[in-house]
Amino acid sequence: MRTLARKPDVFALAGLAVAVVLTVTGCEGDGQSGIPTESPEPSAVESVEETTASAAAPTVVVGDVPGNPAATVALQAWTNDLVAGTDVVGRCWTIAPERARQMYADVDAITAAVQQPGRDGQYAVTWSAGGVDVSVLRSEIASGYACPYVNPTGAPGYTDEDARYAVERFLGRVIGAPVDPDDTEERYPLVCEARGTWDPWGTGNPGVPPLATDPDVLGDLDSFDAAAASVTPISEAYASVTIPIVEAGTPRDLVVLLTTGSNGYCLGAVD
């Protein structure tokens, strides 16, 4: 059983003791009148400014997203770390570590994609190249540091591991041990929105997801075993996660129903 515990140059002129005021024209040269001389060395100030500008410029520039500049800025922050060899898996705690490790392995494919113009879709912004899609959710963009999902073009955006990890994060919050201190419902929603579209069993009579109206239904949760969780597809749109828990001192299996929405997998009901 495991309980989690867990973005004006100055020139010095040598010569006669007569100060000569020089007028710089638009012609090439060293800025002195008379016979041209060798070009002067750049001042210390110029050298520092050029070095600083060079160091600050990203080696991979993320493509613009028409109408959504924040998406470019947020993915640029992540891309800078990826290219620099920073541990982006550790920083991207909204994604299961092993899933992130697999998605972020091909740096060349990712950097080729992100340099293309981004497309702003219904739920995510996507950059594509070479059969690879790099997509970021709106909650990630709002954070200022967008951890993307990387998938072959046309492949499903989310996997069973994403569903299982959404449950792990939710239950971690319930017992007071989120995967990260910033992992709150306000910043990174995990509960499905309170809209009348919830119908996991295909009854034809959709309603509001039960968790949307009662998100504190697991108030007596003591612990859970994330490593023992299993995922069962219900349909193309819905899945269930079965996970061992201890609730009010009693062990049992919890069944969580999920679907996908604007922030990836969301939890709609528990049993």
pTM of the model: 0.77
pLDDT of residue 58: 83
pLDDT of residue 92: 98
CA 95 from centroid of its chain's CA atoms:
9
Which residues are CB-neighbours of 221 under 8 A, at least 6 positions away? Answer: 171, 174, 175, 245, 246, 247
The CA distance from 188 to 257, in Å, is 18
Which H or E run includes 109?
Answer: helix 107-114
Q: Tell me whether residue 110 is exposed, middle or buried, using C-beta atoms within 10 angstroms of its C-beta: 0 to 12, 13 to 18, 19 or more.
A: buried
Do the beta carbons of residue 162 and residue 99 sit within 8 Å?
Answer: yes
Check residue 97 and report its DSSP letter: H
pLDDT of residue 53: 41
The CA distance from 124 to 126, in Å, is 6
Which pLDDT tens digits describe the chain residue by residue (271 residues)?
444 333 433 333 333 333 333 333 333 344 333 333 344 444 444 444 444 444 567 899 999 999 999 999 999 999 999 999 999 999 999 999 999 999 999 999 999 999 999 999 988 999 999 999 999 999 999 999 999 999 999 888 899 999 999 999 999 999 999 999 999 999 999 999 999 999 999 999 999 999 999 999 998 999 999 999 999 999 999 999 999 999 999 999 999 999 998 889 999 999 9
* Total H helices, total E strands in the chain: 8, 9
Per DSSP, which regions of the chain are E strands? 119-120, 124-129, 132-137, 149-152, 221-224, 230-233, 238-247, 250-261, 264-270
pLDDT of residue 56: 60
Q: Tell me whether residue 140 is exposed, middle or buried, using C-beta atoms within 10 angstroms of its C-beta: 0 to 12, 13 to 18, 19 or more.
A: buried
pLDDT of residue 35: 35
pLDDT of residue 219: 82
pLDDT of residue 157: 86
With the C-alpha atoms ordered 120, 122, 124, 126, is the resulting torsion angle positive or negative?
Answer: negative
pLDDT of residue 11: 32
Tokens for 232, please give them: 């069962």
Tokens for 271, please give them: 């049993």
* Spatial CA neighbour of 104 closest among 126, 76, 129, 83: 83
pLDDT of residue 28: 39
